[in-house]
Homo-oligomer: A and B are copies of this chain.
Amino acid sequence: MSYEHVVSVSGGMDSATVLRYSDILGKTLAVNFTYGSKHNEYERECAVRLCQHFGIDLIRLDLSNVGKALKSNLLLSGGEIPEGHYEDENMKLTVVPGRNMIFTSILAGIAESNGAGKIFLGIHSGDHAIYPDCRPEFLIAMNDAVMAGTDNKVCLEAPFIYSDKESILRWGYEHGVPYEMTRTCYKHQPLACGKCGACQERLEAFRLIGKTDPVAYEEK
């Protein structure tokens, strides 16, 4: 089996949308990472369901031991998930150092191993304030590194890097992304909390496009 694209799918709304984007454009291999975050077990189920829904092959990789060597409140090994807006200063506690860089490097190795020429990343403009490895300057440098570091000159594309969540949702609804199969909340509980930065940003995006989020919340 050969693939054109490799995509990381967490099970969140951004990666679900990018999965669809990539799949429309060419044969896609999805990769889901478990890395010891509090919401991994809930979002991983979403990743599996999304790939089944679209008939996309999925590799599941457990990086929990790598996660144990990193420090973040997003991880089971870390402190409480902060509440507030996604771009608030206290949301920095949820940064997992190097996460996007680590995922991208592994995707590059998998792309190179499978003859795939492109990696799609689900980063968006709302990530820029807090997450350094989701910013345009990171993407540009990482693209250079991935191209230089692979014989097939694998490249990166982040189609929503300058988009907000509202635009992502609009594009996704126009292209059949089943958002009821996604999970965004950062907390270690089955039901989304509605209060963490990730939930707040998601709920705001649904309000802005005038739709009800199909996912159940504890409070919103």
B109 touches A101 (CB 8 A): yes
Asked if A1 CB lies within 8 Å of chain B CBs, one says: no
Contact pick for A98, options B70, B100, B108, CB 8 Å: B108
Q: Which of the 9-residue segments A129-137, A165-173, A205-213 touches chain B?
A: A129-137
Cα distance A4–B47 in the bound complex, in angstroms: 38
Asked if A17 CB lies within 8 Å of chain B CBs, one says: no
Asked if A141 CB lies within 8 Å of chain B CBs, one says: yes
> How many identical subunits does the complex contain?
2
Chain B residues whose CB sits within 8 angstroms of the CB of A146 once the complex forms: 101
Cα distance A109–B60 in the bound complex, in angstroms: 21
B148 touches A145 (CB 8 A): no
Asked if A66 CB lies within 8 Å of chain B CBs, one says: yes
Asked if A174 CB lies within 8 Å of chain B CBs, one says: no
B109 touches A102 (CB 8 A): yes
Chain B residues whose CB sits within 8 angstroms of the CB of A106 once the complex forms: 66, 69, 98, 102
A69 touches B61 (CB 8 A): yes
Chain B residues whose CB sits within 8 angstroms of the CB of A151 once the complex forms: 92, 95, 132
Residues A132 and B113 in contact in the complex (CB < 8 Å), given A105-B98, A141-B141 = no
Asked if A200 CB lies within 8 Å of chain B CBs, one says: no
Interface string of A47-70 (1 = CB under 8 A from B): 000000000000101110110011
A110 touches B69 (CB 8 A): yes
Chain B residues whose CB sits within 8 angstroms of the CB of A145 once the complex forms: 101, 138, 141-142, 144-145
Residues of A near any B CB (own CB < 8 A): 31, 59, 61-63, 65-66, 69-72, 92, 95-102, 104-106, 108-114, 132-133, 135, 137-138, 141-142, 144-151
Q: Can you give 19 A-B contacts (C-beta < 8 A)?
A: A59-B69, A61-B65, A63-B63, A69-B109, A69-B113, A70-B112, A71-B113, A97-B112, A101-B108, A101-B109, A102-B106, A105-B105, A133-B149, A133-B150, A135-B148, A141-B142, A141-B144, A141-B145, A142-B145
